[in-house]
Structures are given as C-alpha cells and as structure tokens.
Structure 1
Amino acid sequence: MVFNEEIFKRKSELGGSIELICGSMFSGKTEELIRRLNRARIAKLKIEIFSPKADTRFVEDALVSHNANSIPSTPVDNASAILLLSSDVHVVGIDEAQFFDDELPDVCNVLANKGIRVIVAGLDMDFKGRPFGPMPAIMAIAESVTKLHAVCVRCGNPALYSYRLVPDEAKILLGEQESYEPRCRICYHS
C-alpha cells in the first residue's frame, strides 16, 4: 500500500484527469465504466462511484450494466454532493452524467485539480439527436474521450443515436428496450 500512496501523492502534485465515456443507449458505457473502476480497485486505489438519484431503472445503490455486471454506487441529488462525498479517494466514477445539473463540469474540474482521476459516463445526445445536459462541457474539458457505438437494430451498422419508440416529447424519459433502440444515422432519420 505504501507504493500506491506514493503514486497518489505524486498524482496530487501533478493534477488528476477527466475521462469521458459517451455514446448512445446500449453502447456499453456503464460496462466500460465498471471495467475501468474494477481495474482501479485491482490497483488498490480508493474509489467512489456516484449516480443521479433520479435514475431509478435498476437498484438504488449500484451501477448495473445491460450485461448485468454491477458495482456499488452512491446515488446523489446533485453534482455538488459529489464533492462532499469524495474526500480521500484516488478515483471517482460518475454514471448517467447527462442527468446531472450544469455544475457537473465544475465538480469534475475541482476533483481533477485535487489530483483525482475522474471517469464520467453518459449519453452524449438526447433522443432528438441534440447534445445532452452537461455532457458537451465535460467533453470539452476531458483529457480523453471514448465514444462507444451500439449496433443499429435495423441494419447492423454502428449506432450513435438513441431512437425513442414511444410517443413522448419529454426530454428525460427513463426506459430500456421497450422505450428506445439504437440506430445508425440513416435509420434514425428514415
């Protein structure tokens, strides 16, 4: 553990980082976030994971991927709560970032400037194909951006859109395969 503490001290002096994992629904964003956080755990780094309290699709105190992989998480009401709950950690994971308030990019910067590795996952576009929530701002300040693609259910090409199947114009509509399907650009617009 002494070795990891020395690395943490050096990273704190040098600054942390912000990593963004984005893409459409069913592209594996949460799966990739869980993978990265588990690797940090293997390295014996202290991690904290947060998700928006409003996302009630799965269990309240864990991130769950569509492949049924899970990792414990803390649901929070707003982005500023992450700062209060992430003291003395090496890595912070944030899932479903699109549902957080506009403070999230500032929170990510504060954490990274403290030497913390921040890994954020979320939808980059809403069902209308427009930038979603604080995601564009996080994309702009991130050291690295990983854009994942699902498979278009219509033609099999890479899908970057989350097509809404139900007639509801609300910007936020929690749902899964009964409400959304991944589509490529051509199938989304046709």
Structure 2
Amino acid sequence: MSRSWSPRPRRRYAPQPPRSLWRRLFDYCLTIVLLGLLILLAARLDRFETREAAGAAIVNDGDSITLGATRIRMRGIDAPEYQQTCRRDGADYACGKLARQSLVQLIGGRPVSCSGWQQDRYGRLLGDCKAGGVDLNRAQVEAGWAVAYGDFEAEEAGARAGKAGIWAGTFDEPQDWRDAHGRGLVERKHGTLASIGDALREFFRFR
C-alpha cells in the first residue's frame, strides 16, 4: 500500500510590531537599574575583603594580640580577662594571667599571621591566627585557657572532659565576669550566624 505525501504548509512569520515609546523607556530604565545594582554589588563586596596581618606578636591577654599597628581579637574564642581570677582546690588563682601565658607559650616567639574581615565593637580585627602552623584559636580552647565563643565547641568539650586549664576548677564565663565588673560592652559571639548577620549589616550599610 502506498502512502500519499503532501508537503507541510510553510508557516508564515509576521514581523513584530515596533515597540511602543513607553516600552522602550521601561527597557532603558530597567537596564539602568540593573547596571546600578551591579555597581553597588561590586562596591559592597569590597567591604568583605579579607585583611591580613603578620609579624612579631605583642600578647595582650589570652585572646587578643597586636601585630604592628593592627589590634586583633581572636575569633570564635573567649579567654579569661587579664585581671580575672578563677577557683581551684579551694583557692583563687590568676587564671587571666595564666591564659595570657598559655598563648605566649603557644606562639613560642615565632611570627604570627592572622586573617579575617570582621571587626569587634572596639574596632579590632576578628582574626584566625597561626604561628608556625599552629592554629592558635583552636589550641587555646584545646588547652583549656579559653572557652568556645561561637566556634570550637568540640575542642571545648575535650578540654572540659580532660579538666584542662580553667576546667580543672570553677570560673565565671569571661563575658559574665566583664558584665559584673563593668568591663566594656556586651560582645556577641563570633560564630556562623554572627558572620551572616555582620555580612548583611555591611551590605546594607550606606556609609
């Protein structure tokens, strides 16, 4: 049986009518708005540029150092304040000074490098710091001379279980001690949620 074949009719394309004046104006405005948003985005992203500092460290206390002209608050940890005391074996001891001494020993006279993009309420760089390949933020918590403050919770759990550093006795959380002694502003934690909040504030800050 033979099949009959017939060519498909060609579809005719009618030319598109020219866009109206208002449509052209809308397209131009939309293009300008999108271009402006791209420029704004590029300018805002500069605010998240990572800052780096390196050199010989001046150790201020158990979680803050100075590198040259850059003051650095170590991110994600909170050490006892320098004047803070804790209690062990029924007696008070200078845990703040021992926390500073621990950081000095971890650095061991080696150059320190820190990086970060956030700042704390005092304008200090919130930094992740290393000395000779040692992660100083993590090591301070592991040694029991700083508590987790938005990060390093697993390291804190290990120090607590091993009764390392301040975990060998009792102590006030450093933030609670600062509050009780009128030492500065309440400091928010430095974890992931805080970083997201900081990023949003920086992006929408118009100054």
TM-score normalized with structure 2 length: 0.27
- Greater strand percent: which structure? 1
TM-score normalized with structure 1 length: 0.29
Q: Rg: which structure is higher? A: 2
